[in-house]
Structure 1
Amino acid sequence: MANHKSAIKRHRQSLKRATRNRAMKTRVRNTVKAVRTAILQKDKDQAQVLLGTANSVLDKAAGKGVIHWRMAARSISRLSKAVAEIA
């Protein structure tokens, strides 16, 4: 453990951020999984509703720096394409 006040504060901040990042990544994975499940079940209405939620969660995670913005854009694009292809 660090001895300097600033290093102790830094450690405390890093733990707090790591916890928040882990929670955000889990939320991203769960929302994407929900959209993919709806796509597999060919439920277009449910998939579109979940896609809106997933877009919001992905954009928020990218804005906070939890995931890279290009990864978020790629995920949104692929999910949108998959939802559009449901007959």
Structure 2
Amino acid sequence: MRIDKYLKVTRLIKRRSVANEACDQGRITVNGRVVKASYDVKENDIIEIKMGERIIKVQVMAIAEHVLKNDASSLYKPLS
């Protein structure tokens, strides 16, 4: 699954277009490398999102095309 879609499905970022822009601006890193929106997310990847002063760091636990709002947080594990 593309990283922009994964960020939307997990609700780490509300809209896919916003996730796409964040990737274009170099604010999304996976395993320490800046990635494009087309990056293919794999289990156990470490995703770091820089949003202003905040940095969100999570580990990918599972990948799913569709999840309910209450189950979205089960797809990742917060690291910071």
TM-score, normalised by the number of residues in structure 1: 0.25
Q: Which has a greater percent of strand? A: 2
